Structure formats: structure tokens, C-alpha cells
């Protein structure tokens, strides 16, 4: 008796065959691999820990296989990420035919005194890219920057007119095309990098200061203003003015002298950013300038009123810091030690009754904004 194949049996066979084919195709696709390199236990940072968690979650959602390991060295982050570039290897069990797993990128985030460095070794384009971020971002923003930089590097094979002999895996293509394309990394060898730095800025400080010119002259109050320009890294070059300072007086048997003081400085300032304490920014400066002293005397009989003025060469050393109010505004507090040559002296008739800049001390507080 010969078996009969019914239409129902044929339909079942076709469905089973299609299911087997789809299952085989799914098994043949291995997710691309991304490696995250974490800092060692001695440098664990809560902000970076959350950032790595967010990056890994986003990459897994995009279909990548994400691995992690601890950094082996601290002195060379480029070598740290470029060391992880093995040749593609199959990860299937024995007897199964699968496409080798592609190792697409190694990611390392490192905090520095000036901000945050993002290193990505792109094993598809064989480049290493770097983005420097001044200051400190929240974990969500920092994770977004990592993913943007990774997309910017991986977009290159898709942007080229001629197709590569070994096109990137499908999950890489989906990841690159799943978000707006940021600016691409520059073409070149494996030393190419992307360095994100803010455009040159101007720092404007407007505030109020106290000028103490010694026990003879006492305290004076004056408005202050300064303007500084970044020149290299944490260094700024600017000018500082404190004028006019009123309130200092000198009293003697011959009468009373009312003093008005002005000073101006050209200063070189060092103001590093603290990665772990972004809201606090210390600074120190050295300056050269001029000092002006005007004296208006109210004399007692038999003496007569008098007026005079003098100038002096001025040097200063200062230290202080600022507290962040927002990304572009801070409250600053500084102390300046002032020395003058020659030292101005207040004299009644032939008697020296007071002198300034021996040394003098200026305490200033100001609102600092980025323009």
C-alpha cells in the first residue's frame, strides 16, 4: 500500500521548513561585541559607574553583546583600548555553522583634572577617537556623548561611496542609523582623534572689594571689574581694576587726610577644573600694574588745606576660587597681596603719618559670567 500525501500534510511540511530556515538564520547571526574598560578599584567613581551602566544598557538594547573588564594600566589610555582588537572568532557550538562575532569597539572613560576624556577604539574603521569634555556632566549626558562619539566613528564605512569588501555587520548598521548622525571623525590613520573643546570665551567679573592699606590708612571700599581670556588649558590672561576706593583716612594733630585709591593689574591666572568637584574651581594669579593715591587734606589752624597725588609700580599675588551657580555663572572670592615701589607715604608738613602698600591686602567678591 503506497502512502498518500494530502494537501494538509504538504502545508504542514512547508511551514515547518520555513520555521527551521528562520531558526537556522537566526542562529547564524551572532551579535557584534563591544568591550567596556572600567577604572581599577582605587579609582572607582560613582558618576562613571552610572555612566557605564547607561552605556551598556543602551548598547544591549541596540543588539550588541557587551563585555566588561578592569583597566590594566593608568598611564596610556590609547594603548589600553587599542590592545583589545582580536580577530573575529566564531562563538557557536561544535557542529554549527555561524558567522564569526565582530568585535566593533572598545570604550574607556577617564576623569582628568580638566574634565572627562572619552576614548573609543573603533575596530571597524581601525581608528581611535578621543573627545575631551571640560568640567563634569551628569551620567545621562555623558552616556549620550559616548554613544554619539561611537556613532560618529562607525558611520564612515556607510558614508563612503564605494562599498567595502567586508561590510559592517547589520547590527552596526542599525545602531548607526538609529539616531541623527553627528559629525564624523576625521579621516586618517589610527591616531586620528576628535577633540571637543569649547570655543574661546571671555570671563567677566563684576563685584565689590575691601582694600586694607595697613593700620595707618585703614579700610577702603571700591567696585571691581576684571576681564580675562583663556590662552592655554587652565591659564587665563586678563586685566583687573579696583577703583575708586574711598573710606581710608589719616588723622593727626595737623588735620585729617581723606584718601582715594585706584589700582589696575595685568594678571596671569591659573584656574584648573576639578573633575570630582565641578562646582568648585580654585584659582591663583600673579600680576603687574600701577597704583594711584590721591590725598585731600583738611588742616587745622594755623595750617592750610592741601591736595596731592602719587603713582607707584604695583605687584600682586592672589588666591581664591569660585562656586558654580550655573554652567555660565559663578560667585568668586579672591584675596590679593599687593606690594608697591616706591611706597606711597602720607605726610603732614614734615611728619610722616601713614604709608600704603607695605603690603596692602585686597579682598574681592564678584559675579563671574562666561561671555
Rounded CA-CA distance 336/365 in Å is: 12
Measured CA to CA in angstroms, residue 194 lies from 130, 168, 276 at distances of 5, 22, 24
Closest-CA residue to 281 (of 335, 240, 224, 234)? 234
Phi–psi pair at 296, nearest 5 degrees = -115, 110
Rounded CA-CA distance 56/54 in Å is: 6
Closest-CA residue to 118 (of 217, 48, 46)? 48
The residue written with cell numbers 555612566 in the block is 51
Measured CA to CA in angstroms, residue 90 lies from 67, 101, 328 at distances of 16, 6, 51
In sequence order, what are the residues at sequence separation of 6 or more whose Cβ sits closer than 8 angstroms to the Cβ of residue 325? 331
The structural domains of the chain, ordered by start, are 15-177 (3.40.50), 203-370 (2.40.160.20)
Cβ count near 135 (within 10 Å): 16
Closest-CA residue to 166 (of 105, 128, 124)? 124
> What is the reported pLDDT for 84?
60
Q: Which helix (H) or strand (E) holds 24?
A: helix 7-28
> What is the reported pLDDT for 29?
56
> What is the reported pLDDT for 18?
55
Rounded CA-CA distance 270/52 in Å is: 32
> What is the reported pLDDT for 191?
43
> In DSSP terms, which residues pair with 127 in a beta bridge?
122
Omega before 342 within 30 of 0, i.e. cis: yes
> What is the reported pLDDT for 287?
97
Rounded CA-CA distance 219/268 in Å is: 26
What is the pLDDT tens value at each position of the chain, 371 positions in all?
Answer: 444 544 555 555 555 555 554 544 444 457 888 999 887 766 677 888 888 999 998 888 888 899 888 887 777 788 888 876 554 444 444 444 444 567 888 999 888 766 788 899 888 888 888 888 876 567 888 888 888 888 888 887 766 644 554 667 777 877 877 655 444 444 433 444 444 444 457 999 999 999 998 888 889 999 999 999 998 878 999 999 999 999 999 988 888 999 999 999 999 999 987 755 667 889 999 999 999 999 998 988 888 888 999 999 999 999 999 998 887 889 999 999 999 999 898 888 878 888 888 899 999 999 999 88
CA 290 to chain CA mean position, Å: 34
Omega before 302 within 30 of 0, i.e. cis: yes
> What is the reported pLDDT for 135?
63
What are the percentages of helix, strand and coil residues in the chain, rounded to 5? 20, 45, 35
Amino acid at each position: 500500500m503506497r502512502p498518500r500525501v494530502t494537501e494538509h500534510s504538504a502545508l504542514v511540511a512547508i511551514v515547518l521548513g520555513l520555521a527551521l530556515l528562520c531558526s537556522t538564520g537566526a542562529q547564524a547571526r551572532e551579535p557584534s561585541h563591544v568591550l567596556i574598560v572600567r577604572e581599577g578599584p582605587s579609582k572607582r567613581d560613582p558618576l562613571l559607574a552610572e555612566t557605564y551602566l547607561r552605556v551598556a544598557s543602551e548598547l544591549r538594547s541596540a543588539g550588541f553583546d557587551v563585555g566588561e573588564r578592569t583597566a590594566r594600566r593608568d598611564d596610556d589610555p590609547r594603548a589600553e583600548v587599542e590592545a583589545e582588537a582580536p580577530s573575529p572568532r566564531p562563538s557557536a557550538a561544535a557542529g554549527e555553522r555561524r558567522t564569526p562575532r565582530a568585535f566593533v569597539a572598545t570604550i574607556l572613560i577617564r576623569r582628568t583634572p580638566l574634565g572627562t576624556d572619552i576614548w573609543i577604539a573603533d575596530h571597524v574603521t581601525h581608528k581611535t577617537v578621543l573627545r575631551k569634555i571640560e568640567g563634569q556632566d551628569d551620567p545621562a549626558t555623558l552616556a549620550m556623548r559616548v554613544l554619539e562619539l561611537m556613532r560618529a566613528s562607525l558611520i564612515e564605512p556607510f558614508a563612503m561611496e564605494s562599498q567595502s569588501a567586508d561590510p559592517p555587520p547589520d547590527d552596526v548598521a542599525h545602531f548607526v542609523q538609529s539616531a541623527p548622525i553627528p559629525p564624523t571623525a576625521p579621516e586618517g590613520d589610527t591616531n586620528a582623534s576628535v577633540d571637543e573643546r569649547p570655543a574661546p570665551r571671555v570671563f567677566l567679573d563684576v563685584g565689590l572689594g575691601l582694600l586694607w592699606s595697613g593700620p595707618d590708612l585703614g579700610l577702603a571700599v571700591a567696585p571691581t571689574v576684571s576681564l580675562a581670556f583663556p590662552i592655554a588649558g587652565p591659564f587665563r590672561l586678563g586685566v583687573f581694576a579696583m577703583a575708586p576706593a574711598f573710606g581710608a583716612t589719616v588723622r593727626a594733630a595737623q588735620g585729617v587726610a581723606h584718601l582715594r585709591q585706584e589700582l589696575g593689574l595685568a594678571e596671569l591666572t591659573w584656574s584648573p577644573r576639578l573633575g570630582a568637584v565641578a562646582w568648585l574651581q580654585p584659582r591663583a594669579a600673579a600680576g603687574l600694574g600701577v597704583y594711584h593715591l590721591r590725598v585731600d587734606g583738611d588742616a587745622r589752624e594755623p595750617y592750610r588745606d592741601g591736595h596731592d597725588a602719587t603713582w607707584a609700580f604695583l605687584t600682586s599675588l592672589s588666591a581664591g576660587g569660585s562656586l558654580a551657580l550655573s554652567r555660565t555663572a559663578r560667585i568668586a572670592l579672591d584675596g590679593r597681596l599687593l606690594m608697591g615701589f616706591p611706597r606711597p607715604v602720607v605726610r603732614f608738613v614734615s611728619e610722616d603719618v601713614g604709608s600704603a602698600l607695605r603690603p596692602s591686602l585686597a579682598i574681592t567678591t564678584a559675579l563671574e559670567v562666561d561671555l
